[in-house]
Structure formats: structure tokens, C-alpha cells
Amino acid sequence: MQIVNKPGPPTGLRRKLWRLPIRLYRTGLGPLMGRRIMLLTHIGRVSGRPRQAVIEVVEHGEHGYVAASGFGPRADWYQNVMKTPNVTIQIGGRALPVTATPLTADEGANIMARYAPRHPAAARRLCRIMGFAVDGSAEDYREVGRHVPFVQFTPRPGRTPET
């Protein structure tokens, strides 16, 4: 694994394109996004106002959902959920109140190593977007996972996720 370029969060037209799925969710078309894309509703750390982002679910199970901050710890949504971890996610047509918890670098390495064989084309594309050159080996993906912040979204008491 080699760090080729660490891009910042998108701006301008790229930002508008990245945010397009939010409009789909807002118009009730969230179920079209499937179970690998979630709408995250969180509180802005500066404004205190509700904010939304659409991010990929890289793993889900009995403990909740996991997402990666592809633009690193500088991503607004990541900084916001680290400040105010009680958020809401929507997957398809189902909204769920959750608590966001950062995962360790070793946990991120294991998650990325499991993700890559399940979604090889998406894993290569994701690594390229995040500025990493990988050779496709499990160890390369583990190393990427050590450099990318992962967040677990755990349902708050009284709610359980669909698996």
C-alpha cells in the first residue's frame, strides 16, 4: 500500500454530485439506494444545526453498522459525530437512532480486510478515491484500514438493526 494523494473533501460540482443521493432520500427514494448506502443525520459541531451526509455501509450485523470516513478525520460528518455521537441513520426506508463510536486502527484493518474480498471492485475504487495505491493483497487492504477512520453506529437501547 502506498499513499499517492490524500484528497480533501469534495468542493464545487464534485460536492454537489457526492450529495445527490441525499436528495433521493429526501424525496422518499431511499429504498432505491439499497442497504449499502445510508443517510446520516447529525448535528453540526459549529452551527448546532442538523446536517446530512450519505455514506457507504461497509459492514453491518448484530452490533450495528460500520462506515469509513473516506476523506479521513477532516470530513465534516466525521468531526460532527465525534462531537455529538447520538445521530440517526436511514438505510432504505428505515430510520434508526444510533450512537457513533470510533473504531481502533486494528479494528479498521480487520474490517477493510473483510470488505475487500466481498466487494473487490468497490474496494479498489474506494482506495483510489482515498488516495491509496494497493496491489490487491489482504495486507495492503489491512494497511489502508489502519489509515482510514472507521465508525460504528450502534442502535440506542430499545432498537435493534436489521441484518
Give the range with max mean pLDDT: 14-23, 43-52, 119-128: 43-52
DSSP state of 73: G
Q: What is the band of 3 on the pLDDT scale with cuts at 50, 70, 90? A: confident
Domain extents in the chain: 2-155
**Alpha helices, H only, 4-104:** 12-26, 76-83
Q: Span 75-91, mean pLDDT?
A: 96
**Can you tell me the distance from the alpha carbon of 15 to that of 49, in angstroms, rounded to the nearest whole number?**
19
pTM of the model: 0.86
> Which of 31-35, 59-63, 131-135 is the least confident region?
31-35
Residue 148 pLDDT > 90, yes or no?
yes
Residue 76 pLDDT > 90, yes or no?
yes
Angle between helices 120-130 and 105-118 (to 10 degrees): 130
Average pLDDT, the chain: 89
Q: What's domain 2-155's superfamily in CATH?
A: Electron Transport, Fmn-binding Protein; Chain A (2.30.110.10)
Condensed to tens digits (0 to 9), the pLDDT of residues 104-116 reads: 999 999 999 999 9
- Those residues whose C-beta lies under 8 Å from the C-beta of residue 33, and which sit 6 or more positions away, are 21, 24, 25, 39, 54, 92
